[in-house]
Structure 1
Amino acid sequence: MELNQTDKCVLMFSGGRDSTIAAMRLSKKFRHLILVTVISEHLVGVERVYQRIIQLKKYLPKETEWVQVILPKFTIKEQLLNVTCLPCQRAYVIIGSIIAQKGDISNLAMGYSGYQNTWPEQTPYAVEKLRETLKISGIQLHLPVYDIKEKDYALDELTRLGLKKESYEQKCLKQQYNIELGEDILKTEIDKWTAGISEIIKLKNTVTLDIRFHGRISDIGDLSLKTY
C-alpha cells in the first residue's frame, strides 16, 4: 500500500536518550520513519549513533531509514548574537524540514524533552514559535518526549523498552562555551532563530544537502561500523 504524507515522519535523531525514546514512540504512530543525524567537525563520535541504530534495529520497522547529513552553512539575514546551541538547532530544523518537504512529508519530530525545557531551543516559548513557523510551511511539529519531566523517567523508559540507558549521541566540542540568556534576550534570539528557519525553508528548492549516508536500518550490518 502506498503511503501518504501523513503516514511518514522525519525525526532529527542524535542517538541520545530522548531521540531514542522519540523514535520508539513515533514508530507506534507513523508507518514510516526517517531518522536524520547531522554530522560536523565539532561533533565527535558518529560511531556511537551507529551503535544506537544497531540497538533499534530489533524494534523499529525494517523500512525505517537512517540519513546522515553534513552540517551545512546557511547564509541567514537574522544573525544570532549569543553563544548557544541555537545556530546548530536552527540548521537541524531546516535540514529536517527540507528532507520532509522534498519527500512530500508533512511531519517533523524533535527529541526535545520536558526536563531540558530551560535549554533555549526547548523552552516553551521557542517550541510554540517553532510550531507556528513550521505550520506556515505545511509542516506539523511533533515533540513525542516533551512530556518527560525527569531524566530518571527517561532512563526507566529505556530499560522498559529493552534499550541501553547510556547516551549514544555525538559529543559537541562547542557546547562548553554556551552562556545562559535572560528572558528578554532569549525571546529576541528565538524570534531571530525562527525567522531564519522560515527564510531558508522558503528557499528549499535551491538548497542542496550533502548526504553522507542514506539507507534502511535493516540493511545496516555490524561490520559497517568500520566504514564510519
Structure 2
Amino acid sequence: MAKLDFPLYHGTCTLFVESIGKYGLGGWDPIKEWRVLECLQKVIPIAEKHTARSEIIRNNIGNAQLMAKQVNGGLNFQHGAVYLSPSRETAVRYACGKKKGSELISRTVLLIDELCRLDVKEVKTDLFQEFPEMFNVMDIDAAPVLIWIPQADTDMLLSERGESPADTLAKIRGIQTRLPDGWESVCQQMNFRLTQPISADEISVSLIAVRKWRPYQIDYSLLPIDLPPNE
C-alpha cells in the first residue's frame, strides 16, 4: 500500500459534512440514495416542454441531457463517484460553482426549482411525492467546503475515466520535477476517482469563505471545521 507524497482535494458543500463524518469521504452516495439520476431523467421531458418559457431551462437542458445519459467524453458526467484533484484551486472552484455540492444534484434541483416557479403541476405533485429529498435539498442553503486528503493510498485511486492511475501519477511526477513550485496549477485537470471510502480521521475539512468571486480566480479564505462525531 503506497501513500501519495502530495495532497489531494475534494470540493463539496455543507449538505454532506454530516454524512462524511459518519461514513467517511465516499462512504455514502446521495446520488444513489436519493435516486437523483432517475429524478433528472423524469425532469428532462417535462422541462423540454417549457424551454420557450424559460431562459434557465434553455441554458441548462443540453448539459442535463448529457448528464442523464451519463456521457463520459470531454465532459465528466460519471456521477456517483467521488473525484479528487491534486489542485486545491480546482476543488475550490468546483465547490463554489455547485450550490448543492454535486453537479448532478445542483442541475437537477435548478430545473425543478424553475419548473416550480413556472407552476408546472406535475412537478409539484407527482415528482414531489416520488423524490421528496430533492425538494428538501432545494430549500437548503449550503456553503462550499474543501476536503483535504494529505496522504491518499494509491490503491484507492483510479484515473478520472476509471482506468489505472499510473499514467496520471507519472505525468504529475514529471511536472513536479520540471516545475517544483508551479506544478499544481499545471495539473488542475489531472483528477482521480476514489474507489473506496476514506475515513473521517484521515481528512481535514474547511469552509470556503469567498471574498471575491471570479470564474477562474476566487479570492477566499479557509475556515477549518470539525466533522460531527460518528455516533
TM-score norm. by structure 2 comes to 0.24
> Which structure has the larger Rg over C-alpha atoms?
2
